[in-house]
Structure 1
Amino acid sequence: MLFIDSERVLSEALVAKDIRAQLDRRRTELQGTFTRRGEELRKGEEELIKQKSILSSEAFDAKVAEFRKEVDSLNRDAAAKMSELEGMYSGAMEQVYGKIQQISKQLAGKFGATIVLFIPKGQVAYVEGTADISEQVLETLNRDLSRVSMGGS
């Protein structure tokens, strides 16, 4: 049986760091976009409040309904974009996990192991030094897979 410290590998691997950086950059871009759209809506709301006294009740109600549609649209867009972003992140990480699995299989063959555990080191009561292949996995992963695109970057 061999062991890989999942927390160490996922925090130190170049590819995982790069994916997290891509995620952070895209999340920041999206937040900026939606913050700007939110500010535009707040200005529209202020303008709507100013118009209340000069518009007929029906005209004001129509403008309020239109404003609510815009707010709902912004909320739907934000949720959809964040969901899309999480999907891209998951897809990129699946490639990393696939590579870790491939490396694990190679090392298991090399060491004659039939089981390779990929769990946090804190969940292992005891592991002999030679059974911990985290370093070999990290080296191979960093060499063979340094970048995975989250799509469009």
Structure 2
Amino acid sequence: MGVNAASGTEDRPVLFVDSDRVLSEALVAKDIRAQLDRRRTEMQGAFAHRGEKLRKEEEDLVKQKGILSSEAFEAKVMEFRQAVEAMNKDVETKMSELEVMYGNAIAQVYDKIQKISELQAAEKGASVVLFMSRGQASYVDEKADITEKILETLNKDLSRVSLGN
């Protein structure tokens, strides 16, 4: 190890973690994605059912155009539009809630990765752990790559994080 002339401190190694690999292969990340997919599918089913009801209401409304007075028809059209707006707002709200849940769950994963990285840095005497895509690094020495150790520890210590309700 050399001495850094500018700071007078010993040079310490830099470690590397392939973020893409960790986030695609970690059991907890796969589980979070599966939970997200299930929630999306459930929501799509519920909203498809509501959408179908609205389509039937629209068909009924079209049939009533010649029967109802123009005032009554306009009132029903307004009511229908409000129902459509309410559904669209519900879709937007639920999708936003799902994004927040995902963000909270993945934040727990990042926190755990950071803790594992800190332990690895202390163990190897490293001053920096880079968590980035392999494609962003022009070269990574095999000895500096701790991706496998991060994955192994993450899979052992954190196999599931709930998205919540």
Q: Normalised by the size of structure 1, how large is the TM-score?
A: 0.99
Report deviation, 1:125. Answer: 0.7
Q: Which residue of 2 aligns with 1:104?
A: 117
**CA RMSD for the aligned pairs?**
0.4
Is 1:76 the counterpart of 2:76? The answer is no
1:93 aligns with 2:103: no
**Matched residues in 2 for 1:28 and 1:79: separation?**
15
Gaps of 5+ in 2: 1-13
Match of 1:32 among 45, 70, 82: 45
Query: Counterpart of 2:89 in structure 1: which amino acid?
Result: R
**Greater gyration radius:** 2
Indicate the residue corresponding to 1:123 in structure 2.
136
More helix by share: 1
2:25 maps to which residue?
Answer: 12
- Indicate which of 46, 49, 66 corresponds to 2:79: 66
The equivalent position to 2:56 in structure 1, one of 12, 34, 43, is 43
The CA distance in 2 between the partners of 1:83 and 1:137, in whole Å, is 31
**1:141 equivalenced with 2:154 (yes/no):** yes
Query: What's the CA shift string for 1:86-141, capped at 9, x where partnerless?
Result: 10000000000000000000000001111100000011111111100000000000
Q: Percent identity?
A: 66
How far apart, CA to CA, are the structure 1 residues paired with 2:140 and 2:83?
Answer: 57
Scaled by the length of structure 2, what TM-score is found? 0.91
Equivalent AA in structure 2 for residue 145 of structure 1: L
Moved over 6 A (4+): none
Greater relative CO, 1 or 2 (CA 8 Å, sep 6+): 1
Counterpart amino acid of 1:94? A
Aligned partner of residue 147 in structure 1, secondary structure: coil
Q: Residue 15 of structure 2 aligns with which residue?
A: 2
SS of the residue aligned with 1:148?
A: coil
Instruction: Give per-residue Cα distances to partners, 1:5-56, cap 9 Å, x unaligned.
Output: 0000000000000000000000000011111100100000000000000000
Letter aligned with residue 112 of structure 1: G
Instruction: Structure 1 unaligned segments of length 5 or more: list them.
Output: none
